[in-house]
């Protein structure tokens, strides 16, 4: 910043101060990495669409001397005693919240050096945190080192404790806002496995229990970030591929669900063990060098785009309800000035549509004389009833008996479906999927740390988090949730909207979720959601997942022709290559026993790979039919072979281990509780 007029230094300044057009020269970190921040008061666009900075003028402040401290008299003193710069000091309101403090008792300085000598205790306590050269860009505060370090309007950050009641309220709010991500996958895979409404209810309760348990473990001993663990959509497509495997299609009877679930459990346990090995051996810290926003963005976007054949075809079975379910999320509804739909979009939209469908059902819109929805269509004699059976099944809200049949209390326990069944070909597919899940988590770790933490985690902390995610997925396989447990991509959006980054709130919410999962009626209530409403909700969730994936491009130069080509090719081939595998060997008149929206997942029986090794054919045909796998392979190869600068690629910047150990704020953000870090002290590639 340029120096203000010395004659006006004691006047009450306007806040925030006007943005100066002179950009701040990069500090030592930027010099070493070659990173040139694009954030400035004035920018100009080049012919390629990239944003270029105005050439910097000679600096007037020695930034290498250390962070600048604003004492109460309005004169800034740095670690260089020869440099004094008068700047306006903001008025800091009394903080009623118990903010985090470093080990020396001075308010948090965002991980920077200690205050300059001679500032005094009174001056140090007057300033809440270090004020560096910062600007707000897209809701993030960008400092002079190029770190978009924290959200401009966060209420509570990682180690803040505003009180037990606010913590509890925000914790429950956090989980309610992510309700769709927690409950939708069981509502898709259990009916596909031939499960009943009661079995769907039991799986939903198990998912809630395991999600709460794994979230507590991950926040305590993993990345230490306030990230909810749960069933990710990354596991949905491979789970459906295993469910529709040729050897499992011939199963009938009451044991079909349990047998397929045991097959999924075995594959998930092996794949999760591979993920844990990837993290705790330190291989993830090496792999993360080739994982950048240009790789993460199309990979996650492909997860959402891959289910286009499932979404609207089911919505179309009862369009008057399914369309309302989708359109209600587009309304910006506010109550007393609060945009409640930004936080509670899923539960409120579900409640509104469910009430609307209930009114239509009670009004007799889906009641046909002499027809009973509980009688299978194949047993109906009347042609009139067979004609309207589909509308009665998908539009009525009283066809499910899950709520009535579910018990009031049920404790989910390991191996409740039986002993897992292990097949190497299915396990190998899940190993690759666990790698894609780790890529998703890398993006979530980085984005969430910029919102709530002092600095991004070190590669060791990242490896520790991925390793614990693998162990959590092993628990999910033992309990039988049908999918692995991983960091939900929606976490970052929820943190940014709720402005709550305290990990204590998410931990308390996880305890509440565990207690809620023990009430069997809760699972029965969720299992009774009409199928068409589930499909409409999934359309919204998958569309948002695609957008969240593409939003990772904001960490790179999104206007770069290089990045545009890489992302475009990755997304195109992620749709085109699986379409080739899915359509190979299927004639237009072929009789397929599965519904049309499940046909993309039966590729293992007719794919183009036909060698004498049946297991190898299964693995290659299945992996090449998964959109996210193709997107990841294309993106990671192109991003690491096509020339581009670090700034253009948006290379993820992780904190250095030595710097993290020296800075109290960073150490307190990521160190393990109860001195558990001593366990990893001899493992230098895991932890700080």
125 assigned to some structural domain: no
Q: For 263-281, what is the mean pLDDT?
A: 93
Q: Of the given ranges (14-28, 221-235, 376-390), which has the lowest mean pLDDT?
A: 14-28
70 assigned to some structural domain: no
pLDDT interval class at 534 (50, 70, 90): confident
Residue ranges of alpha helices (H) inside 585-655 are 614-624, 627-639, 646-649
Measured CA to CA, the distance from residue 57 to residue 341 in angstroms comes to 46
pLDDT number for residue 270 = 95
| Residue-range definition of the domain harbouring residue 205 | 164-584+592-681
> 658 near 601, Cβ under 8 Å?
no
pLDDT number for residue 250 = 75
489 assigned to some structural domain: yes
50 assigned to some structural domain: no
> 234 near 437, Cβ under 8 Å?
yes
Token pair belonging to 610: 């036909």
Token pair belonging to 2: 């340029």
445 assigned to some structural domain: yes
> 158 near 457, Cβ under 8 Å?
no
Reduced DSSP (H G I as helix, E B as strand, rest coil) percent helix, strand, coil of the chain, to 5: 55, 5, 40
pLDDT number for residue 443 = 87
Q: Of the given ranges (246-250, 297-301, 678-682), which has the lowest mean pLDDT?
A: 678-682
> 565 near 572, Cβ under 8 Å?
no
Longest dimension (CA), the chain: 96
Q: For 241-263, what is the mean pLDDT?
A: 84
| Sign for the pseudo-dihedral over CA of 284, 285, 290, 292 | positive
Quick: pLDDT tens for 380-391: 657 767 777 777
pLDDT number for residue 8 = 47
pLDDT number for residue 377 = 58
Q: Of the given ranges (48-57, 233-242, 350-359), which has the lowest mean pLDDT?
A: 48-57
Q: 186: exposed, middle or buried (C-beta count within 10 Å: 0-12, 13-18, 19+)?
A: buried
pLDDT interval class at 96 (50, 70, 90): very low
pLDDT number for residue 331 = 64
318 assigned to some structural domain: yes
17 assigned to some structural domain: no
User: Is residue 487 helix, strand or coil?
Assistant: strand
pLDDT number for residue 468 = 93
Helix (H) or strand (E) holding 435: helix 424-452
Rg, C-alpha atoms of the chain: 27
433 assigned to some structural domain: yes
pLDDT number for residue 276 = 94
pLDDT number for residue 87 = 47
User: What average pLDDT does the chain have?
Assistant: 75
Total domains in the chain come to: 1
Q: Report DSSP state, residue 115.
A: P
Q: Report DSSP state, residue 161.
A: B
Q: Report DSSP state, residue 1.
A: -
pLDDT number for residue 685 = 64
Q: Report DSSP state, residue 519.
A: B
pLDDT interval class at 211 (50, 70, 90): very high
Token pair belonging to 629: 């796998």
Q: For 413-420, what is the mean pLDDT?
A: 91
More confident position, 585 or 319: 319
Contacts of 614 (CB under 8 A, 6+ apart): none
**pTM: predicted TM-score of the whole model, two decimal places:** 0.74
pLDDT beyond 60 at 304: yes
Q: For 451-471, what is the mean pLDDT?
A: 89
Measured CA to CA, the distance from residue 226 to residue 503 in angstroms comes to 4
Pick from 155-159, 546-550, 564-568, 615-619 the range whose average pLDDT is largest: 564-568
Place of tokens 């894609």: 436
Nearest to 326 by CA among 488, 622, 540: 540
Quick: pLDDT tens for 553-608: 988 888 889 999 999 999 999 999 999 988 886 765 554 556 666 777 787 777 78
> 631 near 571, Cβ under 8 Å?
yes
- 136-140: long-range contacts at Cβ-Cβ below 8 A with a sequence spacing of 24 or more? 137/39, 138/554, 139/496, 140/450, 140/451
């Amino acid at each position: 910043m340029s120096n203000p007029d010395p004659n006006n230094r004691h006047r009450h300044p306007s806040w925030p101060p006007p943005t100066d057009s002179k950009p701040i020269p990069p500090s030592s970190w930027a010099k070493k990495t070659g990173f040139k921040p694009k954030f400035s008061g004035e920018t100009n666009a080049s012919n390629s669409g990239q944003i270029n900075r105005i050439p910097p003028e000679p600096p007037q402040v020695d930034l290498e001397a250390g962070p600048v401290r604003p004492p109460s008299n309005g004169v800034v003193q740095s670690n260089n005693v020869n440099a004094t710069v008068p700047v306006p000091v903001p008025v800091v309101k009394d903080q009623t919240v118990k903010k985090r403090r470093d080990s020396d008792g001075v308010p948090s300085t965002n991980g920077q050096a200690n205050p300059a000598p001679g500032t005094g205790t009174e001056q140090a306590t007057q300033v809440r945190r270090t004020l560096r050269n910062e600007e707000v860009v897209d809701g993030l505060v960008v400092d002079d080192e190029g770190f978009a370090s924290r959200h401009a309007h966060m209420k509570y950050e990682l180690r803040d404790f505003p009180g037990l009641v606010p913590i509890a309220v925000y914790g429950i709010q956090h989980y309610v806002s992510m309700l769709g991500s927690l409950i939708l996958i069981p509502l898709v895979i259990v009916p596909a496995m031939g499960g009943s409404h009661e079995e769907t209810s039991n799986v939903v309760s198990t998912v809630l229990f395991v999600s709460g348990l794994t979230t507590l473990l991950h926040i305590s001993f993993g990345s230490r970030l306030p990230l909810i663990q749960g069933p990710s959509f990354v596991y949905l497509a491979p789970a459906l591929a295993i469910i529709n495997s040729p050897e499992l299609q011939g199963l009938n009877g009451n044991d079909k669900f349990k047998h397929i679930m045991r097959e999924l459990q075995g594959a998930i346990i092996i794949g999760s063990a591979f993920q844990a090995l990837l993290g705790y051996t330190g291989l993830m810290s090496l792999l993360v060098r080739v994982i950048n926003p240009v790789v993460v963005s199309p990979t996650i976007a492909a997860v959402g785009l891959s289910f286009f054949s499932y979404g609207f075809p089911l919505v179309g079975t009862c369009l008057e309800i399914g369309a309302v379910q989708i359109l209600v999320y587009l309304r910006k509804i506010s109550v007393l000035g609060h945009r409640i739909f930004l936080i509670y979009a899923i539960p409120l939209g579900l409640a509104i549509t469910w009430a609307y469908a209930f009114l239509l059902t009670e009004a007799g819109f889906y009641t046909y004389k002499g027809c009973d929805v509980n009688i299978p269509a194949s047993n109906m004699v009347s042609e009139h009833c067979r004609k309207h059976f589909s509308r009665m099944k998908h539009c009525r809200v009283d066809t499910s008996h899950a709520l009535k049949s579910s018990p009031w209390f049920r404790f989910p326990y390991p191996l409740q479906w039986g002993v897992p069944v292990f097949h190497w070909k299915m396990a190998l597919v899940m190993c690759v999927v666990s790698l894609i899940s780790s890529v998703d988590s890398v993006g979530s770790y980085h984005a969430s740390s910029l919102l709530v933490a002092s600095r991004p985690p070190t590669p060791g902390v990242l490896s520790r988090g991925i390793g614990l995610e693998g162990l959590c997925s092993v628990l999910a396989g033992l309990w039988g949730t049908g999918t692995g447990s991983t960091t939900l991509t929606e976490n970052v959006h929820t943190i940014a909207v709720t402005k709550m980054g305290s990990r204590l709130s998410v931990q308390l919410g996880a305890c509440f979720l565990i207690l809620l999962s023990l009430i069997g009626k809760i699972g029965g209530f969720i299992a009774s959601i009409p199928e068409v409403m589930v499909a409409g909700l999934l359309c919204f969730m998958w569309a948002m997942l695609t957008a969240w994936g593409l939003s990772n491009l904001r960490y790179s130069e999104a206007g770069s022709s290089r990045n545009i080509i890489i992302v475009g090719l990755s997304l195109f081939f992620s749709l085109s290559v699986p379409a080739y595998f899915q359509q190979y060997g299927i004639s237009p008149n072929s009789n397929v026993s599965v519904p049309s929206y499940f046909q993309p997942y039966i590729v293992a029986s007719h794919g183009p790979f036909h060698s004498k090794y049946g297991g190898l054919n299964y693995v290659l045909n299945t992996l090449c039919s998964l959109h996210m796998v193709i997107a990841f392979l294309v993106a990671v190869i192109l991003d690491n072979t096509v020339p581009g600068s670090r700034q253009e690629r948006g290379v993820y910047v992780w904190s250095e281990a030595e710097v993290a150990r020296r800075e109290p704020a960073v150490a307190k953000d990521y160190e393990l509780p109860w001195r558990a870090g001593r366990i990893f002290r001899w493992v230098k590639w895991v932890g700080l």
